[in-house]
Amino acid sequence: MTDFCMPSLGADMKTGTLVKWHVKPGDRLKRGDIIADVETDKGIMEIEVFEDCVIDELLLKPETEVPVGTVMAKIHSEVAKKVTEAKVPIKETAKEKHLIESTKPPVKTTVTSTPVTTDGKRLRVSPIARKLAAELGVDLTQIKGTGAEGAIQERDVRQAAALADKVEEPAIERPVEKPLETPAAPAKLPSSAEFQAGMRRAIAAAMSRSNREIPHYYLETQIDMSHPLKWLEMENQKRSIKDRILPVVLLIKATAKALTEIPELNGYWIDDRLQVEESIHIGFAISLRQGGLVTPAIHHADTKSLDELMAVL
Amino acid sequence: MKKKSGGKPESIQSDTSQHLIELLRQMLRIRRFEDKCAELYSAAKIRGFLHLYNGEEAIAVGVMQAMQPDDAIVATYREHGQALAWGIPMKTVMAEMYGKQGGCCRGRGGSMHLFDKERRFYGGNAIVGGGLPLAVGLALADKKLGRNRVTCCFFGDGAAAEGEFHEALNLAALWQVPVLFVCENNQYAMGTALKYSHSNPNLAEKADNYGIANATVDGMDVLAVEAAAHKAVDIVRTEVKPFFLECITYRFRAHSMFDPEFYREKAEVEQWRERCPINTLFKTIQEKGWLSDTEWNQLNQEVDSEIAAAIAYAETCLWEPVEDLTRFVYSERGAGV
Amino acid sequence: MNTSIQEAQPIHLTYREAVREALREALRKDDRVFLMGEDVGRYGGAFGVSKGLLQEFGSDRIMDTPLCESGFTGAGIGAALGGMRPIVEVMTVNFSLLAADQILNTAATYLHMSGGLFNVPLVIRMGTGGGKQLAAQHSHSLEGWYAHIPGIKVLTPATLEDARGMLWTALEDPDPVLIFENTLLYTMEGDISANPEPVDIDRAKVRRAGTDVTLISYSASLFKALDAAETLAQEGIEAEVIDLRTLRPLDDETLLTSIAKTHRAVIIDEGWRSGSISAEISARIMEKGFYDLDVPVERICAAEVPMPYANHLEQAALPQVATIIQTVKRMVTGHD
């Protein structure tokens, strides 16, 4: 005896309602004969048997709605099947759902909170500004943003970081810093008027402080540069344009050399005594085309050749 | 089964018992396969849309007799008959409908998109009329490259209303390309009867308007279809021009599985069932005393065995790994013409 | 091929002539190549691109088709499947909608439906773009729509070098390639190498280096971006301008590398804003470059209106240089 089940007539058919049987127990059917009428969303459909068979038992009553795959009747085939195919009930196809990943139990995740200002409003911070603030240890709630609708942008964080350096850290922690050093040049130079103004402010602040706190004295001498400049001219003629050396490199090198001979000039007055610095770093002031000033430091200028100094510049 | 290349060079229709029994076998094979698909679909083994060919077997089988092995076939979503008659292995067709990797298209296409590169079977198309311009292009390439091949394009009465039908016929006639257009007029475009689709229901006449040689044949008589196909293919191949063959037929089953057939009367279906092409040929063969009961039973057994083997194959085939989902969107290295 | 010691003089030509040269080269190099489309032969091409080719190559290689976009595009697909290398010319993207079924349901899909059996080595060229007062049905920029479809490639050559070089690479591709030629570019003049190198069809190119903002564009809009960049430079804002060159595949890497540097991005796209390729690019930048952004990504697209006929309205509907400049300034300064 085999099961005759409610057939699936379409992917969106979930159930069928038996309307009426066309057979009774004992009836003989041929393959393709209609066994019943079934009502679906699309209307009443005739359903067939797929083999020659005899009806043994009708299990379902008319007007019953059942899911696809439900056994409706018991039948058997009289002729011994020469070939038996596995009659796989519909339920088994559900096993093939190995294709669909099993749901894992939910894992509790912690939601990281974003910084808010004191009045509880959400901060408008650009992604890169936020990233930079984390890197530089800048407190976003202390920054006034210059972006649209007060958004805190990259330049605001960089400025805040630079000013924080100036205001908070004593010279002892930054022996490399030269007194005239302005805030480190940012990786790029946004040329907005706002940034110009900001830079000017920073330069003014640094210079004012430098003059206030560090005694200044001035020495002057005259150096005849004709010989070195001539040498430079001849030297540069041998080189392609991109390899040529600027006159200022000679000055830097000379200064570095002089400091190796008179090390007392290369130091700080700290803790009521002179502390001489072993490394020789020369600060080189560059006027920016768009306005403003930066002073990169050329480290270990005494150990660098003219070419290396030029390259660093 | 599709003819091997050692077959007859020119198309002569044989009327031997061997040949007629072979035609019967091929049609029976398709019929049983389609019935089995209905059963498998009801058991949810085959999913999506399933369009069965019951009643139309004479067309696929009859036309293929006139084709050569390196000809091309373009078909519709109701193409199991064409696929089997053209020689695509039954087990790969079955596996394809199961959606398995061992299917002829790795399970990527399903019932409506059967393809076979070696046998030049260009689908399986779910867009009504979509294959006609394609067939014109295939034939155009053959003409340009001087290859003596025919492209056979199957489509239904519904397609004859689509713009692409008219564009393709016009191009085929204009460019004189070797396409055999086979219109399987089963009287209905899904649920819309011919008279509700066509201002002129004489479909072959449409070919007239494009200057394409045409004929109409009884699609329920495989011998008539075969004869008409031989004539048509000879013209296409030797004169290098298109031909339009309209075959009048009927599908015994619904348009697709989930179709309550409100649009046609049961009496009409019964009338056409009496003209079943398999029964008709069977009677002819029996009258000539060419097939004993034992031989007939054996024929049935062989067909059933083949189908059972195909199912067994499909059942045991693997699914394509989900990780391979995005393959075959673009050609992979080394692939391509 | 011998190489002269001195580089050969560059050739001066128009975009139209560059495409024609590309067609000529393809027709000469490969017998399987043929051009088919409306008015490509006797008329010389609706935009004059194929002028003279019928006389040079004959009607077997240059085929005038009837007006049946679906039919001849499908035939092109069939011919490609049958071993030819057809170039189907659809006069403009406006008429391509009639062929959209063949492009999507046949060309883009056959490889996949057949489980990898049948690739379609077809090239389809189309005119595209607005700005010539041709009104609503003749002014579409739907290349972004086509870029939605997996299975095809979508090219948008802007420069002469690309107009000259992309066709052969596209013909060598085993899959369908759509090439969109903005019709306003046909008269653009410039120099290309006498011995043009092959070009790739899957990378974007930085056309102008910059540091303050990344302008992302393609086709005719690229030149608006470049113009804007020139003006912005005078005000000290250095824009990096990227030519997408292909809309499918999109070259995420080039875009993201640029934005990692500039932290600001604007996309200029002649399609309608909603659901456009600019929306896709913006989404990708958000997904993969979020932490490099200093301001939201901006998009400058066509206004959401069928293209009007009157010139002032049409220009108001299309992306303009002034809008690009204004947008960039706002992004850089934080206010208008």
pLDDT in tens, B273-310: 999 999 999 999 999 999 999 999 999 999 999 999 99
> Over the stretch B194-219, which tens digit does the pLDDT of each residue have?
999 999 999 999 999 999 999 999 99
Kindly report whether the peptide bond that precedes residue C249 is cis, defined as omega within 30 degrees of 0: yes
Catalytic site includes residue C69: yes
Subunit contact C119:B130, Cβ cutoff 8 A:
no
Residues of B in contact with C68 (CB under 8 A): 163, 167, 170-171
Q: How far apart are the first and last CA of chain A?
A: 95
Residue A217, pLDDT score: 76
From CA A60, how far away is CA A46, in angstroms rounded? 16
Chain A: give the shortest CA distance to residue B181, in Å.
32
For residue C323, count other CB atoms closer than 10 A to its CB.
16
- Whether the predicted pLDDT of A201 surpasses 90: no
Test mutation, B111, B258, B300, B323, chain A, max A CBs within 10 A: B258
Apex CA A134: angle with CA A132 and CA A140, to 5°?
A: 85
The arrangement of secondary structure in C205-333, i.e. its CATH architecture, is: 3-Layer(aba) Sandwich (3.40)
Arithmetic mean of pLDDT, C276-301: 97
> Over the stretch B138-177, which tens digit does the pLDDT of each residue have?
999 999 999 999 999 999 999 999 999 999 999 999 999 9
List residues bridging with C35 in a β-sheet: C62, C87
Residue in C with minimal Cα distance to A146 = C334
Q: Answer yes or no: same fold for C11-192 and C205-333.
A: yes
From CA A46, how far away is CA A154, in angstroms rounded? 72
In terms of Cβ atoms closer than 10 Å to its own Cβ (0-12, 13-18, 19+), residue A213 is exposed
Binned at pLDDT 50, 70 and 90, residue A188 comes out as: very low
Residues of C in contact with A154 (CB under 8 A): 263, 294
Residues of A in contact with B259 (CB under 8 A): 42
Domain borders along chain B are 17-313
In this prediction the pTM is 0.80
Q: Is C330 on the interface with A (CB under 8 A)?
A: yes
- Whether the predicted pLDDT of A31 surpasses 50: yes
Of residues C215, C263, C224, the one with CA closest to residue C242: C215
Residue A288, pLDDT score: 73
Residue A193, pLDDT score: 66
- Whether the predicted pLDDT of B19 surpasses 60: yes
Test mutation, C106, C201, C246, chain B, max B CBs within 10 A: C106
Strands A267-270 and A273-276: antiparallel
C230 in Cβ contact with C280 (< 8 Å): no
Arithmetic mean of pLDDT, C252-271: 97
Residues of A in contact with C212 (CB under 8 A): 188, 190-191
What's at C87, amino acid-wise?
Answer: I
Candidate from A11, A44, A87 with C-beta closest to B47: A11
Q: B 39-78 residues with CB below 8 A of A?
A: 39, 41-45, 47-48
From CA C126, how far away is CA C45, in angstroms rounded? 12
- Whether the predicted pLDDT of C23 surpasses 60: yes
From CA A286, how far away is CA A181, in angstroms rounded? 11
Tokens, residue B14: 């044989």
In B46-109, which ranges are E strands?
A: 72-74
Q: Of C17, C21, C69, C161, which one is the catalytic site residue?
A: C69
Give per-residue burial for C107-129: e unless 16+ CB within 10 Å, then b: bbbbbbbbbbbbbbbbbbbbbbb
Residue in B with minimal Cα distance to C176 = B330
For residue C316, count other CB atoms closer than 10 A to its CB.
12
From CA B14, how far away is CA C72, in angstroms rounded? 39
Residue B141, pLDDT score: 98
Tokens, residue A298: 């050329």
Residue with tokens 């108001």: C316
Residue in B with minimal Cα distance to C65 = B171
- Whether the predicted pLDDT of A96 surpasses 60: no
Q: Which chains touch B (3 or more CB pairs under 8 A)?
A: A, C
Arithmetic mean of pLDDT, B6-27: 77
Strands C239-243 and C205-208: antiparallel
Domain borders along chain A are 2-79, 127-213, 226-312
Residues of A in contact with B260 (CB under 8 A): 40, 42-45
Domain borders along chain C are 11-192, 205-333
Q: Is B295 helix (H, G, I), strand (E, B) or coil?
A: helix
Residue A224, pLDDT score: 87
What's at C307, amino acid-wise?
Answer: M
Q: Which chains touch C (3 or more CB pairs under 8 A)?
A: A, B
Apex CA B94: angle with CA A50 and CA B69, to 5°?
A: 120
The H-or-E segment that residue B46 falls in is none
Subunit contact B115:C73, Cβ cutoff 8 A:
no
Residue C6, pLDDT score: 58
Q: What CATH number was assigned to the domain covering residues A2-79?
A: 2.40.50.100
For residue A219, count other CB atoms closer than 10 A to its CB.
4
Give per-residue burial for C152-170: e unless 16+ CB within 10 Å, then b: bbbbbbbbbbbbbbbbbbb
Residue C231, pLDDT score: 98
From CA A158, how far away is CA A138, in angstroms rounded? 9
Subunit contact B43:A48, Cβ cutoff 8 A:
no
Candidate from C70, C76, C110 with C-beta closest to B164: C70
From CA C134, how far away is CA C139, in angstroms rounded? 6
Q: What CATH number was assigned to the domain covering residues C11-192?
A: 3.40.50.970
B11 in Cβ contact with B234 (< 8 Å): yes
Catalytic site includes residue C138: yes
C141 in Cβ contact with C164 (< 8 Å): no
> Over the stretch C182-223, which tens digit does the pLDDT of each residue have?
999 999 999 999 999 889 999 999 999 999 999 999 999 999
Binned at pLDDT 50, 70 and 90, residue A269 comes out as: confident
Mean pLDDT of chain C: 96
Mean pLDDT of chain B: 94
Test mutation, A152, A153, A189, chain C, max C CBs within 10 A: A153
| Homologous superfamily, domain A226-312 | Chloramphenicol acetyltransferase-like domain (3.30.559.10)
User: Within its chain, how far is the Cα of A151 from the centroid?
Assistant: 19
Residue B179, pLDDT score: 98
> Over the stretch C49-95, which tens digit does the pLDDT of each residue have?
999 999 999 999 999 999 999 999 999 999 999 999 999 999 999 99
- DSSP letters of B206-275? HHHHTT-EEEEEETT-HHHHHHHHHHHHHHHHHHT--EEEEEE---SS-SSSS---TTS-HHHHHHHHTT
For residue C82, count other CB atoms closer than 10 A to its CB.
27
- Whether the predicted pLDDT of B7 surpasses 60: no
- Whether the predicted pLDDT of B272 surpasses 70: yes
Q: In the 8-state DSSP scheme, what is residue C143? A: H
Alpha-carbon distances of C93 from C106, C137, C146, C167, rounded to whole Å: 18, 10, 10, 18
Q: How far apart are the first and last CA of chain B?
A: 27
C11 in Cβ contact with C183 (< 8 Å): no
> Over the stretch C26-59, which tens digit does the pLDDT of each residue have?
999 999 999 999 999 999 999 999 999 999 999 9
Strands A282-283 and B151-156: unpaired
Residue A220, pLDDT score: 85
Subunit contact A127:C292, Cβ cutoff 8 A:
yes
Residue C290, φ and ψ in degrees, nearest 5:
-50, -45
The H-or-E segment that residue B171 falls in is helix B163-175
> Over the stretch A122-179, which tens digit does the pLDDT of each residue have?
888 999 999 999 999 999 999 999 988 889 999 999 999 998 877 654 544 444 444 4
Tokens, residue B239: 């004169």
List residues bridging with C125 in a β-sheet: C89, C179
Test mutation, A4, A8, A87, chain B, max B CBs within 10 A: A8
Subunit contact B122:C68, Cβ cutoff 8 A:
no
Query: What percent of chain B clears pLDDT 90, i.e. is strictly above it?
Result: 93
**pLDDT higher for A295 or C182?**
C182
Binned at pLDDT 50, 70 and 90, residue A93 comes out as: very low
Q: Which fold has domain B17-313?
A: Rossmann fold (3.40.50)
